[in-house]
A and B are shown apart, each in its own frame.
Chain A
Amino acid sequence: MKRSAPYLFLTPAIVLFTLFLAVPIGYTVYLAMRRTKVSGLGLGKGARREVFVGFDNFAAALSDAELWNGWLRVLGYGALVLVVMLGLALLFALLLDSARVRLAKFSRIAIFLPYAVPGVAATLMWGFLYLPSLSPIKDVLEVNFLGATAVTYSMANVAVWGGVGFNMLVLYTALRAIPRDLYEAARLDGASEVQIALRVKIPILTPAIILTTVFSIIATVQVFTEPSTLRPLTNTISSTWSPLMKVYRDAFVTGDLYSAAATSIVIAAISLVLSFGFLRVVRNRAFGEG
Chain B
Amino acid sequence: MAATTVAASHRRARVATRRPLGLVPTAVLLVGAIYCLFPVFWVMIAATKSPGELFSTATLAFGTGFADNVAQLFAYRDGVFWLWALNTLIYAGGGALLSTAVSAISGYALAKYRFPGRNVIFNVLIGGILVPSVVLAIPQYLLFAKIGLADTYWAVLLPQILHPYSIYLARIYAAAAIPDSLLEAGRIDGAGDWTLMSRVAMPLMVPGMVTIFLFQFVAIWNNFLLPFIMLGDDNKFPLTVGLFTLLQAGSNQPSLYNLILTGAFLSIVPLIALFLTMQRYWRTDLSSGAVK
Contact = CB atoms under 8 A, between A and B. Distances in A.
B267 A121 contact: yes
Contacts of A119: 222, 224, 240
Nearest to B272: A116
Contacts of B32: 88, 92, 107, 110-111, 164
B162 A109 contact: no
Given A122-B39, A257-B138, A10 B121 contact: yes
B26 A229 contact: no
A65 B200 CA distance: 59
B18 to A, nearest CB: 9
A10 B272 contact: no
Given A92-B32, A120-B244, A180-B8, A268 B224 contact: no
A100 interface: yes
B222 A222 contact: no
B76 to A, nearest CB: 16
Contact of A20 (B118, B134, B159): B159
B218 A116 contact: yes
Contact of A96 (B29, B162, B275): B29
Which label, helix, strand, loop or mixed, suits the secondary structure of the A interface?
helix
Interface in A113-134: 113-122, 124-129, 133-134
Contacts of B239: 118, 121
Interface string B3-33: 0000010011001100111100110111011
Interface stretch (A25-33, A44-52, A55-63, A73-81): A25-33
B105 A121 contact: no
Interface string A5-32: 1111110111011011101110110010
B135 A264 contact: yes
Interface stretch (A34-42, A148-156, A244-252, A280-288): A244-252
A85 to B, nearest CB: 12
A124 B264 contact: yes
Contacts of A103: 26, 29-30
B138 A251 contact: yes
B110 interface: yes
Contact of A95 (B28, B43, B142): B28
How large, as a class, is the contact surface on chain B?
A: 35 or more
Contacts of A99: 11-12, 15-16
Contact of A101 (B22, B34, B140, B197): B22
B136 A20 contact: yes
22 contacts: A5-B109, A9-B105, A20-B158, A98-B22, A100-B15, A109-B276, A110-B33, A111-B33, A111-B36, A113-B36, A113-B37, A116-B268, A117-B40, A118-B221, A120-B240, A125-B42, A125-B43, A125-B264, A164-B36, A193-B19, A257-B138, A267-B134
Interface of A: 1-3, 5-10, 12-14, 16-17, 19-21, 23-25, 27-28, 31, 88, 91-92, 95-96, 98-104, 106-107, 109-122, 124-129, 133-136, 161, 164-165, 169-170, 173-174, 177, 180, 193, 218, 221-222, 224-225, 228-229, 232-233, 244, 247-248, 251-252, 257, 260-261, 264-265, 267-268, 271-272, 275
Given A10-B106, A125-B264, 9 more contacts: A9-B193, A28-B138, A31-B142, A92-B32, A120-B224, A120-B244, A180-B11, A233-B247, A267-B134
